Each structure stands twice: as structure tokens, then as C-alpha cells.
Amino acid sequence: MHKITLIPGDGTGPEISEAAKRVIEATGVPITWDIQEAGQDIFEKEGTPLPQRVIDSIKKNKVALKGPVTTPVGKGFRSVNVALRQNLDLFCCLRPCKTFKGTRTRYEDIDLVIIRENTEDLYAGIEFNKGSEDAGKLISLIKELSGKVIRPDSGISIKPISVFATERIVKFAFEFSRRNKRKKVTAVHKANIMKYSDGLFLETAREVAKGYPDIEFEDKIIDNLCMQLVQKPELYDVIVLPNLYGDIVSDLAAGLIGGLGLAPGANLGDEFAVFEAVHGSAPKYKGLNKVNPLAMILSGIMMLRHLGEPRAAERLDTAVTSLIAEGKHVTYDMKPRPDDPTAATTSMVADAIIEKLNYSPNGN
Ligand code: NAD
């Protein structure tokens, strides 16, 4: 019996979480769910969007499946997602992007893996508010140390990149490539401009790469990578990036395979693992039973593999692949037009997958 923390999330999170839970249960893998609410509604009830009980539950169970959680823009509480990653030291965000046959996309046969460093860079959460005493002190100190003048009406976010975290994420990228028989790792940076942060990322990645002569290594500047991913995505295989670029490139790669509705992810550390879709809480669709649950279901497949349940993962993968190829029981975002009246609801997608699993109980 596996014990898993399930965080339904907010916005459309609870709807897709319920769909994912149902299809995972239908594989027959014995799971007890420890359901832990977090996010916007919990902030209103408990005064924090991420109560300690949620973290304690993941620490106890080691594995979580998480729905998306809203982060207010520019004000209010800080991101629950960032806090979870930092609290549990989930240093790696693994986001595979693979084309499913039958998806309407501009590209065919995309098969990329994005590996994003999750704990530092501009997302470290070290920020100084415009006009604050601390921002003023920092501005003076920087002038004293570097001679550089920062305008007094500036807000400041700090970008730390360490050898430790870079070594750890680049090693993960190479180990992942070895285990999964991938051929090339591309490290991405803007070292030409940010010599001491991205420059260190590049230098460290080059050092780590020397330990993996069986896997090709290259580096690319982030802007060039974005253009090339759109023009020639087939040139890339496993891509490893600092936090901010990794976040943006994950969405770009999701676009290559037909959108956020199909992009799964895992946040991994040495001890804990949290599986979640790349997309957010899409709050405007909350309660409409409308959005696509497949990204969360695909994250659930990654979780089943992590739990050592490859057979169940394979069966669920086959059911999802066949559902997408048929194109009938899919949500609005996968139809030729978003107002297509034949679009399936969130729960209908889960029902159709469960029917496929029941029809093929032995995976045949
Ligand atoms: P979003 O991913 O929630 O939505 C962007 C658009 O993508 C939606 O309007 C919708 O058209 C489409 N979309 C997203 N998920 C979909 C799905 N499952 N099926 C069909 N269409 C889908 O991004 P956003 O609007 O920038 O963010 C909304 C909130 O989610 C914000 O508060 C943000 O901070 C948060 N967020 C959370 C996570 C997370 O919990 N891991 C990740 C990203 C964003």
C-alpha cells in the first residue's frame, strides 16, 4: 500500500485532482490518499496558504500529487509552489515534453526533457521593496562596493547561483540521460551578460560534463535557444537550465506539444517528490468541469513510475495515448475550435480513461 499526499489545489485544481485520483485508482495500484488542502481558500481560513501540516504530510509520505495553486500577482502571499520546493529541497523540476499522436500541433515528434533548477536564481525570493529602508541600505552598499548607481525608486530581486546547486542539477541531467538512454545534454545560460551568476552555471556545467564522456554536451545562450526551439526543436534532447529560464522554456516546450493541457512535471529532491502539471490554476474556469485533466494525469503516470509501479504506469499511458489518438473524449483545448460542442468535460475524460483501463485489465 502506498501512502500519498494529495494536494487538490485551488481554482480548477480540485476538479483535475479528482479526475487524476480516479484514474490512478482505476489502475488497481493500492494507494491511501492523505488529502491536504492548501492555497487561496486555505489562506482565508487558516491565515497561511501552506500550513505546516501539508509539509509534515509530505515529509511523512515522501511523495505527493499536487493540483495547481494560485499565487497573487505583485501582492499577497508568496508562491506556495516556490515555498514547497524550498522547504522540501525539491531541487529539480523535471518536465518531459513529448508529442502525442492525434494532437493538433505545429510540430511532430517532439521529444524533449526540460530539467530546471528549482531552488535559487531570481526565484530565491530574496527581494527588497521599493522605498524600504533595506532597499536603501542595499543601494548604498552596492554603490560603495561596485561604484554602480541604482535609482532610488528601484525594487530589487537578487539572483544567487551556486556551484553546489548547479553541480547537483547538471549531474541530475546527466544521470537522467544515462538512465533513459538520452543522447545529449544542453546547458542554457546568459553567461555573456551575467558573468558571475550564469557564467558560474556554465563553467560548473562544463566541469560536470567531463564526468560523462558517453553523453554529448553543449551549451546555448537562452535567447538563441528560444529561437532554435521554435525553428528546429529536433536538435534538442535534454535541456538543463537555471530556475527562471527553466520556467519560461517549460511553457515554450509545452506549446510545441499542443499546450499546457498536456505538459506534466515532477519536483524532485534527494528525499521527497511532488508531482504536478506545468500549468496553473486557470481560475477563470473554476467549477465549470471544463479544463483538461491530462497534464495532471500524465504527472500521475510519472508518479506511478517513481513508486515502482511501471506496469500500472504503462497501462495508464496506453489508455491516455489511445484517448488522445481517437480525439473524441478530449476537452475544448484539444478540439479544432475551443467552442466545439463535442468537447468532453474534465470528468468525462476521466470516465473515458477508466473505461479503457477496465476494458483492458491486463494491459493488452
Ligand atoms: P494557467 O496555466 O493557470 O492558465 C493559462 C491559460 O492556459 C488558461 O487561461 C487556460 O486557457 C490554459 N490552461 C491552463 N491549464 C489548462 C488546462 N488544464 N486545460 C485547459 N486549458 C488550460 O496560468 P496563469 O493564468 O498564468 O496562472 C493562474 C494562476 O496559477 C496564477 O495564480 C499562477 O501563479 C498559478 N500557477 C500555479 C502553478 C502551480 O501551482 N504549479 C503553476 C503556474 C501558475
Question: Closest ligand 1 atom, CA of 69?
Answer: 40
Does residue 185 surpass a pLDDT of 90?
yes
Q: Residue 227: is it exposed, middle or buried by C-beta count within 10 angstroms (0-12/13-18/19+)?
A: exposed
Q: How much distance in Å is there from the Cα of 132 to the middle of ligand 1? A: 32
With the most atoms of ligand 1 within 8 angstroms of its CB, the residue from 281, 299, 348 to mutate is 281
pLDDT band for 352, please (50, 70, 90 cuts): very high
Atom 44 (ligand 1) nearest CA: 280
Q: How many CB atoms lie within 10 A of CB 275?
A: 26
Write out the three cell numbers for 56: 509534515
CA dist 233 and 225 (Å) reads 9
* Secondary structure element (H or E) that encloses residue 63, with its range: strand 63-66
Q: Which of 190, 220, 290, 356 is catalytic?
A: 190
Pocket lining for ligand 1, CB < 6 angstroms = 68-71, 81, 260-261, 276, 279-283, 291-292, 295, 333
Q: Which of 21, 247, 332, 333 is catalytic?
A: 247
Q: Are 304 and 28 in contact (CB under 8 A)?
A: no
Predicted confidence (pLDDT) at residue 362 exceeds the cutoff of 90: no
What is the reported pTM? Answer: 0.91
Q: From the alpha carbon of 16, which atom of ligand 1 is closest?
A: 18
Of 21, 66, 121, 123, which residue is the catalytic one? 123
pLDDT, position 159 = 98
Ordered strands of the 184-189 beta sheet: 31-35, 2-7, 63-66, 273-276, 266-268, 92-98, 111-117, 238-241, 184-189, 216-221
Beta strand 111-117 with 238-241 is parallel
Which of the four pLDDT bands, split at 50, 70 and 90, describes residue 163?
very high
Strand stretches in 313-364, DSSP E: none
Ordered by start, the domain boundaries in the chain are 1-91+263-364, 106-118+160-256, 121-158
| Least confident range of 90-94, 199-203, 255-259 | 255-259
Q: Which stretch of DSSP H or E encloses residue 185?
A: strand 184-189
Q: 3-state class of 143 per DSSP?
A: helix
Residue 106: DSSP 8-state: S
Q: Determine which residue's CA is closest to atom 5 belonging to ligand 1.
A: 282
Tens-place pLDDT, residues 50-85: 999 999 999 999 999 999 999 876 666 678 888 898
Tell me the average pLDDT across 173-184: 97
Strand partners, 32: 3
Residue 223's pLDDT band, with cuts at 50, 70 and 90, is very high
Least confident of 68-82, 196-210, 214-228: 68-82
At the second CATH level, the architecture of 1-91+263-364 is: 3-Layer(aba) Sandwich (3.40)
CA-nearest residue for atom 25, ligand 1, is: 282
Q: How far is ligand 1, taken at its centre, from the CA of residue 284, in Å? A: 9
Q: Nearest Cα to 89, choosing from 55, 60, 122?
A: 55
Q: Please tell me the distance between residue 291's alpha carbon and the centre of ligand 1 in angstroms.
A: 10
340 among known catalytic residues? no
Determine the Cα–Cα distance for residues 199 and 38; give it in Å rounded to an integer.
37
For residue 12, report the distance from its CA to the centre of ligand 1, in Å: 9
pLDDT score of 364: 45
Please state, in angstroms and as integers, the Cα–Cα distance from residue 310 to each residue in 164, 306, 359, 363, following that order.
Answer: 32, 8, 19, 12
Closest CA to ligand 1's atom 38: 280
Question: What is the rounded distance in angstroms from the CA atom of residue 245 to the CA atom of residue 187?
Answer: 11
pLDDT at 183 over 90: yes
**Is the backbone of residue 28 left (phi > 0), alpha (psi -120 to 50) or beta?**
left
The residue annotated as part of the active site, out of 56, 109, 134, 223, is 223
Q: Is 247 a residue of the active site?
A: yes
For residue 323 the three cell numbers come to 484517448
Closest CA to 194 of 137, 238, 242: 242
Confidence of residue 29 (pLDDT cuts 50, 70, 90): very high
% residues pLDDT > 70 (the chain): 98
Do 49 and 36 contact (CB within 8 A), yes or no? Answer: no
- Asked if residue 110 lies in contact with residue 99, where contact means CB atoms within 8 angstroms, the answer is yes
Count of alpha carbons within 13 Å of 364, Cβ hemisphere only?
Answer: 2
Task: Encode pLDDT of 100-152 as tens digits.
Answer: 999 988 999 999 999 999 999 999 889 999 999 999 999 999 999 999 999 99
CB 318: neighbour CB atoms within 10 A?
Answer: 15
Task: Please give the angle made by the CA atoms of 12, 61 and 254, to the nearest 5 degrees.
Answer: 40
Task: Give residue 308's pLDDT band: very low, low, confident or very high (50, 70, 90).
Answer: very high
269 — pLDDT class (breaks 50, 70, 90): very high
Class of domain 106-118+160-256: alpha beta
CA geometry: angle 102, 254, 304, nearest 5 deg: 80
Residue 290: name the closest of 298, 302, 282 by CA.
Answer: 282
Spacing, Cα 49 to ligand 1 middle (Å): 18
Tell me which residue has its CA closest to atom 4 in ligand 1: 282
Task: Report how far residue 359's alpha carbon sits from residue 191's, in angstroms, rounded to the nearest whole number.
Answer: 53
Centre of ligand 1 to C-alpha 278, Å, is 8
**Is the confidence at residue 325, as pLDDT, over 90?**
yes
Mean pLDDT, range 242-267, rounded to an integer:
94
Q: What is the DSSP letter of 261?
A: G
Kindly report, residue by residue over 239-251, the tens digit of the pLDDT.
999 999 999 999 9
